[in-house]
Chains A and B, each alone.
Chain A
Amino acid sequence: DGGITQSPKYLFRKEGQNVTLSCEQNLNHDAMYWYRQDPGQGLRLIYYSQIVNDFQKGDIAEGYSVSREKKESFPLTVTSAQKNPTAFYLCASSEQRAQVRALHFGNGTRLTVT
């Protein structure tokens, strides 16, 4: 079955530690995205990548980093510089790089930092 796999589903970290969230897709999509969901805030774009070895900042990129070494993979690192890292993180992919018509989402990773 084609889809997007995010792991782990729940992640706990101590403040001051970097943590990497995994996202893998087997849909052969060019574009991949990271969104963050907070209560009452909707989905906010962190980073996106339209092609391998290229990525761009979204609306709330501060305190995050990404890499896109393979088409299938787009890991997100939440660094200690991120002031409010506790959130639900969603990875998505899209066939098209421009004029995005639809996003396919993974089931998310809930990160709790204490």
Chain B
Amino acid sequence: DQQVKQNSPSLSVQEGRISILNCDYTNSMFDYFLWYKKYPAEGPTFLISISSIKDKNEDGRFTVFLNKSAKHLSLHIVPSQPGDSAVYFCAASANSGYALNFGKGTSLLVTP
């Protein structure tokens, strides 16, 4: 059963605008969340993370928001750039967890 869900398989955004990628989770034991970016034929690379004690974490153009009551997090990219075009995976871990649980990914296309 998928514990981390990314319900939008794809998203298209114009360059310069904001990209918002969403992620929902079902396991209330998750207390650490991450976003990974993946280009075709490459391994995912870590982008940004957030602990459950926070509701926002910002790193340059990337901001992750966490809403624990809704079991929802989102990644905002502003302004979006063509180089941001990739698949973005949401992942979560629990205190007793041995690995990361990944969502199915959202393919972001940023058009010039």
Interface residues of A (CB under 8 A from B): 4, 6, 9, 33, 35, 40-45, 48, 50, 56, 58, 88, 90, 92, 97-108, 110
Contacts and interface: CB of A to CB of B under 8 A. Distances in A.
B99 interface: yes
Nearest to B93: A100
A110 B46 CA distance: 21
Contacts of A107: 41-43
A103 B48 CA distance: 12
B98 A90 contact: no
Closest 4 CB pairs of A and B: A105-B43, A42-B104, A43-B102, A42-B102
A91 to B, nearest CB: 8
Contacts of B94: 99
Contact of A105 (B45, B93, B103): B45
Contact of B93 (A56, A101, A104, A106): A101
Interface string B93-111: 1111111101111000000
Interface in B60-103: 89, 91, 93-100, 102-103
Interface residues of B, number: 25
Contacts, number: 66
A45 B99 contact: yes
Best-surrounded residue of B91, B95, B100, B105 (most CB of chain A within 10 A): B100
B95 A99 contact: yes
Contacts of A42: 6, 89, 102-105
A83 to B, nearest CB: 21
A73 B93 CA distance: 24
Nearest to B43: A105
